[in-house]
Chain A
Amino acid sequence: MAETKPRTLFDKVWDAHVVEQLPDGTCVLYIDRHLVHEVTSPQAFEGLRLAGRKVRRPDATIAVADHNIPTMGRANGIQEEDSRIQVETLERNVVEFGVPYFPILSPQQGIVHIIGPEQGISLPGMTIVCGDSHTSTHGAMGSLAFGIGTSEVEHVLATQTLLQKPAKNMLVKVEGTLGAGCTAKDIVLAIIGKIGTAGGTGHVIEFAGSAIRALDMAGRMTVCNMSIEAGARAGMIAPDQTTFDYVRGKPYAPKGEALDRAIAWWSTLPADPGAHYDTVVELDAAAIAPMVTWGTNPEAVVPVTATVPNPADEQDEAKRAQLARMVEYMGLTPGQKITDLKIDVVFIGSCTNGRIEDVRAAAAVAKGRKVAPGVRAMIVPGSGIVKQQAEAEGLDRILIDAGFEWREPGCSMCLGMNPDKLTPGQRCASTSNRNFEGRQGPGGRTHLVSPAMAAAAAVSGHLADVRELA
């Protein structure tokens, strides 16, 4: 029997969703939850319309606009015409196809990967997809969650399935206790630094070990969110009591006896003893320092105490050229101390770090301090619910008094497709997930950091070691 072979968390969730296996090994995989946003869905709905197809499971689908909406003054509507058309197109499509939608001015609106778990729409053991690579975030629930392109969005809308082959299993084990000032963001940046931006290609990563167990759900989501930056198809963390406590009481989560039955099944999902992983990577949490990316992919990362690497030290010619281009684009000098890099902008938010815990971490550093002269610091809650909660705790006052802009929820400056953008040459300490050339605006220079490190940079005027601000 297949059941006797020890299985990983990924194997179990995968097996539970195979509708049919085709002769060549391709599976028709059932999808439990489909999250839809304005940027990657218009062509999918258009495809359905042209083929005369319906959305098979509107009740397993949720739509929200997040990528290109402004994060200030949105009650006045969207000024940029292309963005407005895209959001209006989504609003027309959800009506035409009967898809549930959180309107822009509702408190449930927010970044699609923040609202899924927050609303209890994303649950353990589910298959979850979205036309966005950071769908890996939801894997923190113990679900199999991954990004898809627009053709696959259309495929899921029409069939509630995808054609997929199973991925390989990778185990990333982080044991020990994180040092003061270090967070989930530093863990995942350290992992990417170790395995590289293509280190997870073809794999689903399961994050495990005592340091991962010790993370709250927000931290787990930060870690899984950036699995894609290591090239992995998805990231997952086995559901445990922390997960169950988080799910309990969420608006769309099962309740009462139904929740008990769900938890009974979710409790069977952690990997069996002896389950096989194709690749195993181990890290020591105590050895992780607050991390800062210096280059233009997330693998170009160093501890905040380090200096800018010298491309001349690289033996491989192609890599040396790539490093040299990074140094040039980022406006750096090899050997320069990371903490000597002056910054122009601080962005705290995104699906990586836009949860209430992230706002609290930023406020804890900002409290009683002031944003340094010449620095623009913005904080963008990940959802209307996060914003309300922060305001109820008075965090908005602390941040505004310190000189931060307190904005409305959305993807904001993570990806430069709404009014929040860097201008050429601006240097930004950002809690987002990608430091690619031009990602935050053409010519912009991104340093990825944790929320506490971003706040430390804001009040210091340069990249700074948050441990020295204590």
Chain B
Amino acid sequence: MDAFTKLTGVAAPLPMANVDTDKIIPARFLKTIKRTGLGVHLFDTLRYDAEGQERPEFVLNQGPYRKAEILIAHENFGCGSSREHAPWALLDFGIRCVIAPDFADIFHNNVFKNGILPIRLSREICDQLMEDAKQGDNARITIDLAEQVVVRPNGEKIPFEIDPFRKHLLLNGLDDIGQTLQHAPSIDSYESKQQAEKSWMPGISV
């Protein structure tokens, strides 16, 4: 996983609530055994018509937003399925940060594992940032994770909250599994205790 430290880029405004993971990446594109290459299908039905032609009205088909690195949306972003193909598609397109009033739980978990930073800000602030984002190339937004601030094009700094453990992993690009394996002795002793106390629990074999 790539570390996330500081990012300055174009933000794409997506003023929609309940953007579900089927919208982010429809199920027909989940038949891959790789993590990469999904960016072309990001928001497929919003982005392309039935003939596969770009819909000019969709934000990611417009000038500077083709290179957007930040996405700004409304409530309950990422609801629905647990498919990690949703963050993979965002990342493959180039999105490293999503800002919204709130996120669905599983999606929120999944983005962190892929070096994407989800930022929760009030609807009011999201709407201000949405206005900034509408200026495209002329209004770059900066995300400073170490300082925990979003910097608007006018220089105003907006603080945001983040779980300290997740911040640490993101800033350093650390692999979760490596972190957990530092606790391997605790896992071993838990398993021994469980075998003694829950000896009724059968193992699976076919």
- Mask: chain A, 39-53; 1 = CB below 8 Å from B; 0 = not: 110110010000101
How far apart sit A384 and B43, CA to CA, in the bound complex (Å)?
A: 35
Taking a contact as CB atoms closer than 8 A, the residue among B83, B114, B165, B201 that contacts A22 in the complex is B165
Instruction: With CB as the reference atom, state the residue of chain A lying closest to B101.
Output: A198
B33–A252 contact, CB under 8 A?
Answer: no
* B155 contacts partner chain A, Cβ-Cβ < 8 Å: no
Closest chain B CB from A36 CB (angstroms): 11
Instruction: With CB as the reference atom, state the residue of chain B lying closest to A153.
Output: B84
Instruction: With CB as the reference atom, state the residue of chain B lying closest to A198.
Output: B76
Taking a contact as CB atoms closer than 8 A, the residue among B50, B87, B106, B184 that contacts A133 in the complex is B106
List of B residues within 8 angstroms of A147 by Cβ:
81-82, 106
Taking A197-B76, A443-B50 as contacts, is the C-beta distance between A161 and B204 under 8 angstroms? no
- Which one of A54-62, A283-291, A372-380 contacts B? A54-62
* B158 contacts partner chain A, Cβ-Cβ < 8 Å: no
- Which one of B23-31, B61-69, B136-144, B146-154 contacts A? B23-31
List of A residues within 8 angstroms of B204 by Cβ:
59-62, 100, 121, 252
List of B residues within 8 angstroms of A131 by Cβ:
82, 84
B84–A151 contact, CB under 8 A?
Answer: yes
* A347 contacts partner chain B, Cβ-Cβ < 8 Å: no
B201–A19 contact, CB under 8 A?
Answer: no
A415–B105 contact, CB under 8 A?
Answer: no
How far apart sit A318 and B76, CA to CA, in the bound complex (Å)?
A: 14
* B206 contacts partner chain A, Cβ-Cβ < 8 Å: yes
* B53 contacts partner chain A, Cβ-Cβ < 8 Å: no
Instruction: With CB as the reference atom, state the residue of chain A lying closest to B32.
Output: A82
* B89 contacts partner chain A, Cβ-Cβ < 8 Å: no
How far apart sit A63 and B201, CA to CA, in the bound complex (Å)?
A: 19
How far apart sit A265 and B203, CA to CA, in the bound complex (Å)?
A: 18
A197–B84 contact, CB under 8 A?
Answer: no
Report, as a range, how many residues of chain A touch the other chain: 35 or more
B15–A198 contact, CB under 8 A?
Answer: no
Of B181, B190, B204, B206, most buried by chain A (CB within 10 Å of CB) is B204
B15–A51 contact, CB under 8 A?
Answer: no
A82–B187 contact, CB under 8 A?
Answer: no
How far apart sit A53 and B33, CA to CA, in the bound complex (Å)?
A: 19
B34–A149 contact, CB under 8 A?
Answer: no
How far apart sit A262 and B104, CA to CA, in the bound complex (Å)?
A: 34
List of B residues within 8 angstroms of A318 by Cβ:
15, 17, 74
* A89 contacts partner chain B, Cβ-Cβ < 8 Å: yes
Instruction: With CB as the reference atom, state the residue of chain B lying closest to A85.
Output: B33
A20–B165 contact, CB under 8 A?
Answer: no
Taking a contact as CB atoms closer than 8 A, the residue among A83, A123, A159 that contacts B177 in the complex is A159
List of B residues within 8 angstroms of A154 by Cβ:
177
List of A residues within 8 angstroms of B202 by Cβ:
252-254, 258
Instruction: With CB as the reference atom, state the residue of chain A lying closest to B110.
Output: A149
List of A residues within 8 angstroms of B205 by Cβ:
59, 100
How far apart sit A272 and B57, CA to CA, in the bound complex (Å)?
A: 55
How far apart sit A42 and B186, CA to CA, in the bound complex (Å)?
A: 28
List of A residues within 8 angstroms of B28 by Cβ:
416-417, 442
* A426 contacts partner chain B, Cβ-Cβ < 8 Å: no
A133–B81 contact, CB under 8 A?
Answer: yes
Instruction: With CB as the reference atom, state the residue of chain B lying closest to A133.
Output: B82
Taking A30-B194, A259-B200 as contacts, is the C-beta distance between A197 and B18 under 8 angstroms? yes
* A132 contacts partner chain B, Cβ-Cβ < 8 Å: yes
Query: Which residues, 16 to 58 on B, are CB-close (under 8 Å) to A?
Result: 16-18, 20, 22-23, 26-28, 30-35, 45, 50
Taking a contact as CB atoms closer than 8 A, the residue among B79, B87, B191 that contacts A231 in the complex is B79
B82–A258 contact, CB under 8 A?
Answer: no
How far apart sit A108 and B199, CA to CA, in the bound complex (Å)?
A: 25
| 3 tightest Cβ-Cβ pairs between the two chains A and B | A59-B203, A151-B113, A82-B31
What are 14 A-to-B residue pairs whose CB atoms are below 8 Å? Answer: A19-B183, A39-B30, A61-B204, A149-B110, A158-B180, A159-B180, A163-B176, A197-B18, A197-B79, A228-B106, A258-B202, A318-B17, A434-B80, A438-B23
Q: Give B contacts to A, CB under 8 Å.
A: 15-18, 20, 22-23, 26-28, 30-35, 45, 50, 74-76, 79-84, 87, 102, 104-106, 109-110, 113-114, 163-165, 176-177, 179-181, 183-184, 186-187, 190-191, 194, 198-206
| Apart from the given pairs A202-B105, A442-B26, 9 other A-B contacts in the complex at a CB distance below 8 Å | A20-B183, A24-B164, A61-B204, A147-B81, A197-B76, A262-B198, A262-B201, A297-B20, A438-B23
Q: Give A contacts to B, CB under 8 Å.
A: 19-20, 22, 24, 26, 28, 30, 32, 39-40, 42-43, 46, 51, 53, 59-62, 67-68, 80, 82-83, 85-86, 89, 100-102, 108, 121, 123, 126, 131-133, 135, 146-152, 154-155, 158-161, 163, 165, 197-198, 201-202, 228, 231, 233, 252-254, 258-259, 261-262, 265, 297, 318-319, 322, 415-417, 424, 434, 436-439, 442-443
